[in-house]
Structure 1
Amino acid sequence: MPRPRRPLTASFADSIAFLAAVTVALVFVFPIYWAFSQSLRNPIDTFTVAGFGIPWVNFQPTLDNWIDQIGTPETFRALANSTIVSVSASLLALLLGTPAAYAIARFRFERWPNRDIAIWFLSQRVLPPVATVIPFYLVMRTLGLLDTRLALVLIDATFVLPFVVVILRQAFLDLPVELEEAALVDGASHWGAFWRIALPLAAPTMAATGLIIFAFSWNEFLFAVALASQNALTVPVHIAGAIDTRGVQFWFMGVRAMTAMIPPVVIALLAQRYIVRGLTLGAVKG
């Protein structure tokens, strides 16, 4: 039996939606392509190449910029600082935020409603970070932590902690509480139910949350440029350093931008399965 043909109007609407999606994708992909193209050009090609700057078509690519930048101690130090700060801040935020999210999801507090506590955590993201630069600077100077990785870890963990609490709270609310109640009946403590039942079930959401807050910490610029001067400079600050008396060195800017994008993209690809499971947890209830 022949299949019924789709209406012409529906096919035309699908084509328009497809073209719109491709256009939006190209808009967001073009800066990445531009950075990649710039990183492969000789300095003179930055100002003489016309068109889209396609390698081997508009210019002869070279890896000299990559070799020059990767081999410098400043680039290696910036990558090491960003990796250590981002991973440490993400782990610290997960360590503190996961039990807090579970407590808000499962227990009831006498003084404040749980919903108000969750909203308070969420409101911390509304506070402009620039309003806290001077207080944080004074605190870190008093503690002797200026230009240290520890200062950036503490500050980044503070600002990504609300994401952990809000996202994981909803994940724990979506988990069936009967599983934990059965564990309590069998003699487990609240900590045992959390550690053996709730935490493994929420692991995909924790992985997705960890990647999100890692990206936030990796891209943090304001506090890194305000509190670090040499030893604790991160990749975003290193990218901004591609400006000298001759102007913007676009060939170095391209290399630094690519080095900043590669680690989060690689981690996202490796953790893609957990991200999809974590973000769809609780989306369908049966």
Structure 2
Amino acid sequence: MDSSKSGFVGSQVELRCIFINSNPPVKISQVTWQKLLNSTKQNVAIANPALGVSVLSPFKERVGFKQAAVRHRPPSLEDTTIVFSNLQLSDEAAYICEYTTGQKRKMTVATCVSANGKPPSVIKWDTRLKGEATYQETHNQNGTVTVRSNYVVIPSRETHKQKLTCIVMYRSERITDSVVLNVQYEPEVMIEGFDGNWYLNRQNVQLTCRADANPPVTIYQWKLLNGSIPSNVEIKNNTLFFKGPVTYDLAGTYVCDATNGIGTRTGSVDVNITGR
């Protein structure tokens, strides 16, 4: 990205964002542009291989991805430069280009040390986590041995809140210590509320965006693919309240973008209306 960009009110400016992929390439699962102002993040534009490109209000009419390949199927997401047109004073802010990738790496999540033992201790791990333990012995000048063991896993939502217990065996002693993992992960999103039975004139229907995330979701953004959210819909955080009777105009694919400090993920639901 460029460290800074400037432009005149009413003019056009490009915000460059290029992802230098590795070999073999990592899978890009989403690209999200965000506006950062006064510690608050606001989604600007999202490119998702499965759901396509979306630009959110109030940027919808003035922001677009420069490369047409971003809109192709499948898209090319290495260059997700965006173009701002008709600049406004309110556009002045910091902008974040965030890539969410599918690369998974093993990491050390806990370390257990038994220092200055003679003979050396034996370290074991007790956990339901699927991981690997590494062991290292350091021979000290005074003849004692320090044993260090790292427990290595691929961090994921499944590893969050899992318990790891280190067991140190020294002669006839058995010493244990435990830790509960706090693993941060981007939201896993699903939309509830459509039961397949939205019929004409039905009352009090709603859609709710549920997200499992750590840290918790701070921003929910709703949109209707190939259209605008109907005027009789009230948006309150993660819920769409459909006021009045159901009409055919409510049909379509509703999309919820949920954002936490790690990233943005998307959920969708296809709503159809029956004439019952």
TM-score normalised to the size of structure 1? 0.25
Please say which structure displays the higher CA radius of gyration. 2
More helix by share: 1
More strand by share: 2
TM-score normalised to the size of structure 2? 0.26
